[in-house]
Structure formats: structure tokens, C-alpha cells
Amino acid sequence: MTLLGAELLALIGTSAAPQTQLVTRRDIRKYSIATGQRQQRYLDGDEAPPMFHVALFWPVLPLSELAANGVAIDPLFPDVPGKRPMAGGLKIDFRLPLRPGDELTATRTLTNIYEKQGSSGSLVFVEVTMRVHNPQGELVLTEKTTRIMK
């Protein structure tokens, strides 16, 4: 029995509204200190270290608007009845360094939904791809997030 009906599969290709954020030297420095970076270019805020972008596009919400697990509800990840979400992986392809003053635009798209049989039953994999561009239209990075519904 498959959990993937036509309605769920029809969501593939759905995109969220693009988000634009400004990279600031202060934010790079704060992130670098908080994550224990050692390279001076990160500590001085001249360049953002890897993973800086992850929280850059997260919404800032009051606690009352977060899911029970403490994270923002992501409308691109559909609910699968009877299944609970688990992290399934994060793959990032960095193309250009992030620097203070960069105005970046991220577009997130639900790119795949598929099912596999595991030892404990059906697993549904949901993939969302985020593409980040600079104002010149250059691809800065691509990030694929996989969520497993178990």
C-alpha cells in the first residue's frame, strides 16, 4: 500500500515566495563567535563561514507560532497522515563566498516526494531545494533538505 496519492504528488514543483536578506558584517561576526570559528576572515566579518546562510532565511517568530518541536512550521513540507517528521539530510553546494553587503534572494521549491520500504514499514522522503542568488543573478549556493516521514 502506498502513502503517496495524486494530491500529495501534485505538490512537487510548489515554490514558496522568494525571500531577500542582507548579509551584514555584524551578523557574520556574531555567528562566527557563536560557532567557535578560528579563521580571522570570519571573526572580522569579511566573509561568512559555511552554514551561516541556514538561519539567514529563517522567519523570526514568537514562541506561540512555533511547532511543538520548537521550529517554524514549514508549509513546503506536507503532512503525511500517521507519520512523524525526522531530519533526513542536508546537502549544500557552495558556489560563491558570502560577504557583508551581499543582498541574497532565496527561492525554495518542493522538488521530490518518494516512498521506500524500511524494516519498520513505509518511509516517505520529502526534498526541498533552496537556490540562493545575488543581485547579478549568479547562483551563490544550492541547498537540498530531506525530511523523512516515519
For residue 102, the domain's CATH number is 3.10.129.10
CA dihedral 67, 72, 76, 80 (to 10 degrees): -20
Sign of the Cα pseudo-torsion (116, 119, 123, 127, in order): negative
Residue 1 placed within a domain: no
The pTM assigned to this predicted structure is 0.88
Residue 67 placed within a domain: yes
Residue 50 placed within a domain: yes
Cα 126 from chain centre: 12
For residues 77 and 121, is the Cβ–Cβ distance under 8 A?
no
Residue 61 or 43, more confident: 43
Residue 71 placed within a domain: yes
Residues 6+ apart with CB under 8 A from 106: 18, 19, 20, 21, 56, 57, 130, 131, 132
Residues in the chain: 150
**Total domain count, the chain:** 1
Round to whole Å and give the CA distance between 127 and 90. 10
DSSP class of residue 72 equals: B
Q: What is the 3-state secondary structure (H, E, C) of 17-32?
A: CCEEEECCHHHHHHHH
Round to whole Å and give the CA distance between 121 and 134. 43
DSSP class of residue 136 equals: T
Domain membership of residue 123 as a residue range: 6-149
Tell me the pLDDT tens digit for each residue of 49-83: 999 999 899 888 898 888 777 778 888 888 777 77
**Confidence band of 1 (pLDDT split at 50, 70, 90):** low
**Confidence band of 150 (pLDDT split at 50, 70, 90):** confident
Cell digits of residue 71: 521550529
Cell digits of residue 85: 517528521
